[in-house]
């Protein structure tokens, strides 16, 4: 009886210690999500300063890219290389590898996070219903609504998920820094590609980046809370989500 009471107290105290961590992570995701909400409201209400900035950047890049054939060809190539299905496919491969290694929970986290990002992007497009940039001589066309950028959102979520899965397998700080550098470069290139081709405004891309970051932070925090709840040791979140499942 005394042993059971002691175990209950220990379990209660352990959960209590986890709450601040989960609350802090939820707060971080909330603070990232606030600018997205403000951007969405600004878009729907046609807020002047943001509208002028979006149009100015769109017009300037349209003229610059249109005058440089090599740049236009490069952006069209990036449009294919950095397509959302490329990132979804990469995450799917990672999920299959994790399953073969017995890392089922980490595989579920990666799959759910990537799928949620894709669905969330579609829902936000329907809610905001922003028309895409329009030009007399468009450099490219794309279906659907503009806000947020689906390419930018999927690249952000895909890159962050892959990084947090793979980082524990990289033995040195130099390799981890290199991995982050490559990942962030892919995210930035995707955003520039969408605006450069004239199929998105800058605010579409920025919103997509913020949504992607908020989503990964929230799901990674939930996963970390579960890890600590089952007695897994704490670790640096920037070094991966579940190092014990990748390194075994």
Q: How far apart are CA 182 and CA 186, in angstroms?
A: 6
pLDDT of res. 244: 54
Q: Which helix (H) or strand (E) holds 191?
A: helix 173-196
126-169 residue pLDDT tens: 999 899 999 988 999 999 999 999 999 999 999 999 999 998 88
pLDDT over threshold 50, residue 6: no
Better pLDDT: 241 or 211: 211
pLDDT over threshold 50, residue 13: no
**Mean pLDDT of all residues in 87-112:** 93
Q: How far apart are CA 152 and CA 194, in angstroms?
A: 8
**Mean pLDDT of all residues in 207-222:** 88
Q: Which of 38-47, 48-57, 62-71, 88-97 is the most confident on average?
A: 88-97
Q: What is the sign, positive or negative, of the torsion defined by CA atoms of 32, 34, 35, 37?
A: positive
In a domain, 5, yes or no: no
Among residues 247, 156, 171, the alpha carbon closest in space to that of 204 is found at 156
In a domain, 19, yes or no: no
> Domain span at residue 229?
26-247
Q: What is the sign, positive or negative, of the torsion defined by CA atoms of 78, 80, 84, 87?
A: negative
Q: How far apart are CA 76 and CA 20, in angstroms?
A: 46
In a domain, 18, yes or no: no
Largest interatomic CA distance in the chain: 81
pLDDT of res. 230: 55
In a domain, 188, yes or no: yes
Residue found by looking up tokens 């468009």 in the block: 138
Better pLDDT: 3 or 57: 57
| Count of domains for the chain | 1
In a domain, 237, yes or no: yes
Q: Which helix (H) or strand (E) holds 99?
A: helix 84-100
In a domain, 3, yes or no: no
Q: What is the reported pTM?
A: 0.83
Q: HSE, CB side, 13 Å, CA atoms: give it for residue 43.
A: 28
In a domain, 7, yes or no: no
pLDDT band, very low/low/confident/very high, at 10 (cuts 50, 70, 90) = very low
170-213 residue pLDDT tens: 878 899 999 999 999 999 999 999 999 999 999 999 999 999 99
pLDDT of res. 132: 94
CB 68 within 8 A of CB 142: no
CB 163 within 8 A of CB 183: yes
pLDDT over threshold 60, residue 9: no
Q: How far apart are CA 116 and CA 113, in angstroms?
A: 5
CB 106 within 8 A of CB 241: yes
In a domain, 4, yes or no: no
């Amino acid at each position: 009886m005394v042993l059971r009471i002691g175990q209950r107290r220990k379990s209660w105290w352990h959960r209590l210690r986890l709450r601040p961590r989960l609350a802090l992570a939820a707060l971080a995701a909330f603070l990232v999500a606030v600018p997205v909400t403000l951007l969405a409201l600004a878009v729907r209400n046609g807020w002047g300063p943001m509208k002028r900035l979006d149009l100015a950047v769109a017009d300037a890049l349209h003229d610059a890219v249109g005058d440089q054939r090599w740049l236009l060809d490069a952006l069209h190539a990036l449009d294919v290389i950095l397509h959302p299905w490329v990132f979804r496919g990469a995450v799917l491969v990672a999920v299959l590898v994790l399953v073969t290694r017995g890392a089922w929970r980490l595989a579920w986290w990666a799959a759910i996070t990537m799928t949620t990002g894709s669905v969330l992007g579609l829902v936000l497009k329907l809610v905001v219903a922003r028309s895409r940039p329009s030009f007399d001589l468009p450099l490219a066309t794309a279906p659907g609504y503009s806000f947020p950028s689906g390419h930018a959102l999927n690249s952000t979520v895909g890159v962050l998920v892959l990084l947090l899965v793979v980082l524990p397998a990289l033995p040195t700080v130099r390799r981890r820094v290199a991995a982050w550098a490559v990942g962030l470069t892919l995210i930035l290139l995707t955003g520039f590609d969408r605006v450069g081709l004239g199929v998105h405004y800058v605010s579409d891309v920025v919103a997509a980046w913020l949504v992607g970051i908020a989503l990964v932070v929230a799901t990674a925090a939930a996963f970390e809370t579960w890890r600590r709840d089952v007695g897994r040791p704490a670790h640096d979140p920037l070094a991966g989500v579940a190092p014990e499942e990748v390194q075994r």
